[in-house]
Chain A
């Protein structure tokens, strides 16, 4: 595949990520609407689904915080990724941000100016740089790119920290539920999809969280995922924090290799009502 073709595919995949609900998420919303007993909560869920249909039809942003691109690249056993291909992906991301259009929220300036936002905003949507690419292996003979758009609200409420597990999984689950209830009560953009990663370092836990969003599905949930969802929903926070039965639509959890130690590092991201904003494309 030549670079021009890759750029075009990546551009359109980014637009799809920022404007489209996957079918399993639509189904999860429909189920939640049917079950919801709180009048205001039901109205919020219906409005979010209506917004998703409008965004998909217009190929326009689901949310004005169109998000920071996070890329996961899967590489098969006989596939090769070249520097040129990575450059084409980077160009495709820029073109996708312009087409969506993404919110022009790239901050300019030196290190200090980017921290205190005194360097000004880049007026170009493409001034928003993607986060570093995560690469992992797959058994399929492909180069597969997943594009996820991460909003700012969940980043404010996310937490990555150590948990002393006391050789009991329940201790870790209890902590995840506690963090999630605190986060969803403050988020404002519920219902959430909780993304959870468990690793040996903060980097690894965050990486697991990202991969959980790639691999997770609303219609197939593990026992641990179901327990977390059920317990957080019992807190009655509800859509937009207005109470009701639907604080969390689902939990996507990935547990990585663990250290011989009393410590687990846990990353919990309370993804907003539109996340995961994700789309996938095969480049080879």
Chain B
């Protein structure tokens, strides 16, 4: 298993390959269908500094955040997958979710030296590996708001990197 800590450097991403099994630790963002298009819009408008956090070297976990815990939703849902290219352009290095993504997205990730990893939907185990959570933006979206978590060794497998995909 490869240990990855956030913020993730360009070099760490450059050395990852499809099939690598990794542990992710540090602060990671959570977002899914409702909020990711809003974050993309902020990066396009140049207003992402209003979030009060840096996206550089970041991880976005495609999940809701509720009292039931966290767990990956399908990354190939339209509003989620379409966020991966612009958010990579804005500095996100690792998109964490589940499900096959399209070849065009795999190419787009490569363009910005970003990767896609899949995480088993193991909510009960992830609860033990999450030490804190903080609401970052869009509280009106409830469980679909933009959150930041402090995590310790979330397990994942690199599913798309450098123009290649495991699917």
A interface residue numbers (CB < 8 A to B)? 19, 40, 43-44, 47-48, 50-52, 54-55, 58, 60-66, 100-105, 117, 120-121, 123, 125, 152-153, 156, 185-189, 240-243, 272-274
Report chain B residues within 8 Å CB of A120. Answer: 140, 142
- Provide a sorted-by-A list of 6 A–B residue pairs whose CB atoms are within 8 angstroms: A60-B127, A61-B68, A61-B123, A187-B99, A188-B98, A273-B121
- The distance in angstroms between the C-alpha atoms of A85 and B24, with both chains bound, is 49
User: Would you call B73 an interface residue if the criterion is a C-beta within 8 Å of the partner chain's C-beta atoms?
Assistant: yes
Report chain B residues within 8 Å CB of A43. Answer: 21
User: Would you call B103 an interface residue if the criterion is a C-beta within 8 Å of the partner chain's C-beta atoms?
Assistant: no
Report chain A residues within 8 Å CB of B149. Answer: none
Knowing A48-B122, A188-B118, A242-B166, the reply to whether A60 touches B100 (Cβ < 8 A) is: no
Report chain A residues within 8 Å CB of B21. Answer: 40, 43
- The distance in angstroms between the C-alpha atoms of A35 and B16, with both chains bound, is 29
Report chain A residues within 8 Å CB of B127. Answer: 60
A243 nearest CB neighbor, chain B only:
B166
Q: A156-B74, A187-B74, A189-B98 are in contact. List 16 more A-B contacts (CB 8 A).
A: A47-B122, A47-B125, A51-B120, A51-B122, A51-B124, A51-B125, A52-B124, A55-B123, A61-B69, A104-B66, A104-B142, A105-B143, A188-B74, A188-B118, A242-B159, A272-B121
B124 x A55 contact (CB < 8 A): yes
A64 x B128 contact (CB < 8 A): no
B155 x A65 contact (CB < 8 A): no
B63 nearest CB neighbor, chain A only:
A64
Report chain B residues within 8 Å CB of A189. Answer: 98, 121
A60 x B124 contact (CB < 8 A): yes
Report chain B residues within 8 Å CB of A44. Answer: 120, 157
A103 x B66 contact (CB < 8 A): yes
- The distance in angstroms between the C-alpha atoms of A55 and B124, with both chains bound, is 5
Partner pick for B73 among A50, A66, A153, A243, CB 8 A cutoff: A153
User: Would you call B57 an interface residue if the criterion is a C-beta within 8 Å of the partner chain's C-beta atoms?
Assistant: no
Q: Mark B21-63, 1 if CB is under 8 A from A, else 0.
A: 1000000000000100000000000000000000000000001
Report chain B residues within 8 Å CB of A152. Answer: 73
User: Would you call B91 an interface residue if the criterion is a C-beta within 8 Å of the partner chain's C-beta atoms?
Assistant: no
Knowing A240-B120, A273-B121, the reply to whether A186 touches B143 (Cβ < 8 A) is: no
- The distance in angstroms between the C-alpha atoms of A271 and B93, with both chains bound, is 31
- The distance in angstroms between the C-alpha atoms of A48 and B140, with both chains bound, is 33
Report chain A residues within 8 Å CB of B75. Answer: 188
B64 x A186 contact (CB < 8 A): no
A240 x B118 contact (CB < 8 A): yes
Knowing A54-B124, A272-B121, the reply to whether A153 touches B100 (Cβ < 8 A) is: no
| Distance (whole angstroms) from the CB of B21 to the closest CB of chain A | 7
B166 x A66 contact (CB < 8 A): no
A238 nearest CB neighbor, chain B only:
B166
- The distance in angstroms between the C-alpha atoms of A100 and B141, with both chains bound, is 22
| Distance (whole angstroms) from the CB of A53 to the closest CB of chain B | 8
| Distance (whole angstroms) from the CB of A191 to the closest CB of chain B | 11
B71 x A65 contact (CB < 8 A): yes
Partner pick for B71 among A63, A105, A240, CB 8 A cutoff: A63
